[in-house]
Structure 1
Amino acid sequence: MNQLKKKLICFCILLIVIINFDASFAQQPKIVSSYGPINQDVGFDQIKADRMKVKADRAKEHMSMLNNRYDLSKKTSPDIVMSGGKPIPVGPTAKLQGTSWLEIVKLTPEQIKTKGIFPYKPLPFADHAEGGMLFPPMITSVLPRLVRFDLDFDLPEHILPDAIPPIYLTTRPDLGDVSKGQLITIDNYYEIFNGLLNPKQLEGLRLLVTQFPQQQFNATEDRRTDRPSLGVSCFDCHANGHTNGANHLVGDIRPQVFRHRIETPSLRGVNIQRLFGSQRALKTIEDFTEFEQRAAYFDGDHAMAAKKGVNVFERGSQVHFMAEFMAILAFPPSSKFDIYGGLDKTKASKAELQGEAIFNGKGRCVSCHTAPYYTDNSMHDLKAERFYKLEMDNGMMMAHDGMIKTFPLRGIKDSPPYIHDGRCFTLEDVVEYFNLVQELHLATPEKQNLVAFLRVL
């Protein structure tokens, strides 16, 4: 009997220890891993169902944020168009809270930060906690394989580039647009470019329009497409060697809330660039091409890449061939510039000439954007965080932007939205942003003339 009592007492003590251990374990903070879940313990149907449960609410929250920050109504120029013929959006579109553009520039950065009225805070992704590549309807309507079941694109089409941008080649400027008004894909690249490119360039283009597995577009159970997917191609985002406004999250930063939204940059003019990736400072287009396939396609997670089917290019042939084609993508022609990259005074308007003077003078734009391509091939920190608080907004931490590469401004009217994360929807917004961040105190006519100059670059 005594033995039984002893066993019962021991059992009770053990049970108490286990309960206390479990309670203590449950109170431990959740570990935020640098890695994604490699071995899924649920199937595709459950993953899709879970994502669909939150889709509508997340979209509603995101659109509320966008409408609070911006005027999303369609406003375009009746006479200024992109090189493909699409009217350019006009602004500024950012909404000011309790102030005006004339008044806000009178405030110090600290006053703007304290009042919480900076109009160009970092822009969150459509569902920042989820992330991934996201394509606009003007592309998914042509390439339905790029539709995600869990997310809809968030920005209106009128602030995006041409759906089918022209292609200009440094090797054949006499031809003008060589795309023949078609979106270049694996189905038509050969018939359009055979005879215009050398064999290496043609092979490079083939690889640029070939689908390869990516984080959301692949064959695994945790994909974000209804059907298993071969993946995405480089030209799915860089449409016709330019951009279509597709966006995703930069792969370099963790945890998720600190990651930056990234807009797809144009590949036009990469032959004159020496830095690649808006914040990565990769030194060659070959480095960028290889990096995208090995890591960026999978959110910078090499373990996930191994699971989903990373395509490792051979550096000496495949990467080289892709780079050789990209190196002949030219900026759109501009008839108003002389051989030094400045305005031809016999062709430019008074407003454009005055805008150029501001660009090279009071606006201090030339400090980073030097002619003829309007870039210094360097990186700069604008320290925009002087103007806003470190706080959460729609799943994203409004953190520091850090060093950003100087993008070339040639053909800039073809590439809205602007800044690395697309927070500036129009060229007017770009001018207002830099007027604030650089504390320039430009007058309204000066800002208008500066926009006029940017439109003809």
Structure 2
Amino acid sequence: MVVAPMQLKAHPELVRFDVDFDLPEAYLPEFPPPLYLISRPGLGDVSNGVEITINNYYEKLNGILTPFQLEGMRLLVTPVAQQQFNVTEDRKADKAQDAVSCFSCHTNGHTSGVFHLNPDNRPQETRFRIDTVSLRGVNIQHFFGSKRALRSLEDFSEVEAKTAYFDGDPVIALKKGARRFTREEIAAMAAMQNMIAFPPAPKLDIQGRLNPEKATESELRGEKIFSMACASCHPAPYYTDNLAHDLQVERFYDGRAEGMIKTFALRGIKDSPPYMHDGRCLTLEDTVEFFNLIQGLKLSAQQKTDLVAFMRTL
């Protein structure tokens, strides 16, 4: 994992001596991001602008979460060993310590822009960069992982801790001190993640579509374009079909095929730059242009502007 400088200011223990983060702060999510709960929508951001950590989770969330959810949160913010941050000599940080929690990457249940190498490919040169996705709205997903198609959040949480934290190698995980969570702990972690909500979208109605009385003309035009060009894979209200698709990007360059990638939900997408599973598109404008090329849409400049305007309302 490689951590952005804005997060390293708060967590110097996550500094690596072998690589640097490569994206400007302007193209990354807000840090720390808001935390919204499905169970308490009226509270808004329950983090109150503060990063939830092992040192403050109880103070911030006791009385808001159930005891079981609170235990899940404790586990999600507890630092454990990870491939680059551990107590062995084969680490990429100066200090020997277990420094990485689930919320190191999924800060406040969202994302801090941390990126990794995909743990599921071999040999090494076939592993691609993978961006940390948001956990917002994870309760509506039918499978987990960009390629692995894990069928439950419990399975995903367990696999992440056992293998993904250690480049997909369970033997290395044992050597470096991987935490072995019990099934009860995994269930608590999943219960907490299932409470993380999408951000408010005041211009959308109860079906996830634009309210004409609140939307601009550009946003309404963008919604029509989206319905024709994007909605088959990203239908309302959460803007995902919960499937995986192969965009066959190898049509456009001399390189290896990438295969099927999960369709991620677009609700709250404006808060989650950079875009695509590997962060290849820095802005929503870049993303629209990417699909304009991939799908051969031949959108005009105005249509692309309108489409971005609509996506910012989600």
Same fold (TM over 0.5): yes
After TM superposition, give the deviation of residue 152 of structure 1 in Å.
Answer: 1.1
Aligned to 1:385: 250
- Residue 233 of structure 2 corresponds to residue 368 of structure 1: yes
Q: Which runs of 5+ in 1 are unaligned?
A: 1-132, 391-398
Other structure's SS at 1:185 match? coil
Other structure's SS at 1:248 match? strand
Distance 1:198 1:339 in 2: 27
Aligned to 1:412: 269
Distance 2:35 2:216 in 1: 27
After TM superposition, give the deviation of residue 419 of structure 1 in Å.
Answer: 0.4
Aligned to 2:41: 173
Aligned to 1:350: 217
Distance 2:279 2:6 in 1: 18
Identify which of 176, 183, 189 aligns with 2:51.
183
Distance 1:402 1:279 in 2: 9
- Residue 259 of structure 2 corresponds to residue 259 of structure 1: no
Aligned to 1:318: 185
Amino acid at match of 1:420: H
Aligned to 2:159: 291
Deviations 1:188-243 (A, max 9, x none): 00100011011110000000000111111000001111010113100000010000
Amino acid at match of 2:258: D
Distance 1:432 1:382 in 2: 14
Other structure's SS at 1:366 match? coil
Distance 1:387 1:238 in 2: 32
Identify which of 135, 141, 144 aligns with 1:276.
144
Identify which of 192, 195, 201 aligns with 1:328.
195
Distance 1:405 1:274 in 2: 10
Deviations 1:270-311 (A, max 9, x none): 011112111111111111100001101110111101100111
Trace 1:151-162 onto structure 2 (pairs within 5 A). 151-162=19-30
Q: Which runs of 5+ in 2 are unaligned?
A: none
- Residue 314 of structure 2 corresponds to residue 442 of structure 1: no
After TM superposition, give the deviation of residue 345 of structure 1 in Å.
Answer: 0.6
Aligned to 2:257: 400
Which of structure 1's runs of 4+ aligned residues deviate more than 6 A? none
Trace 1:32-43 onto structure 2 (pairs within 5 A). none
Higher alpha-carbon Rg:
1
TM-score normalized by the length of structure 2: 0.99
Amino acid at match of 1:231: A
Deviations 1:70-120 (A, max 9, x none): xxxxxxxxxxxxxxxxxxxxxxxxxxxxxxxxxxxxxxxxxxxxxxxxxxx
Distance 2:21 2:215 in 1: 38
TM-score normalized by the length of structure 1: 0.68
Distance 1:434 1:324 in 2: 35
Distance 1:134 1:270 in 2: 23
Identify which of 108, 122, 125 aligns with 1:240.
108
Identity of aligned pairs, percent? 60
**Count of residues paired in the alignment:** 314
Aligned alpha-carbon RMSD (Å): 0.7
Deviations 1:352-402 (A, max 9, x none): 0000000001xx200100100000000000001100012xxxxxxxx2221
- Residue 291 of structure 2 corresponds to residue 452 of structure 1: no
Trace 1:193-232 onto structure 2 (pairs within 5 A). 193-232=61-100
Distance 1:347 1:302 in 2: 51
Distance 1:425 1:157 in 2: 11
Aligned to 1:139: 7
Amino acid at match of 2:222: G
Amino acid at match of 1:246: V
Trace 1:296-315 onto structure 2 (pairs within 5 A). 296-315=164-183
Amino acid at match of 1:285: L
- Residue 3 of structure 2 corresponds to residue 148 of structure 1: no
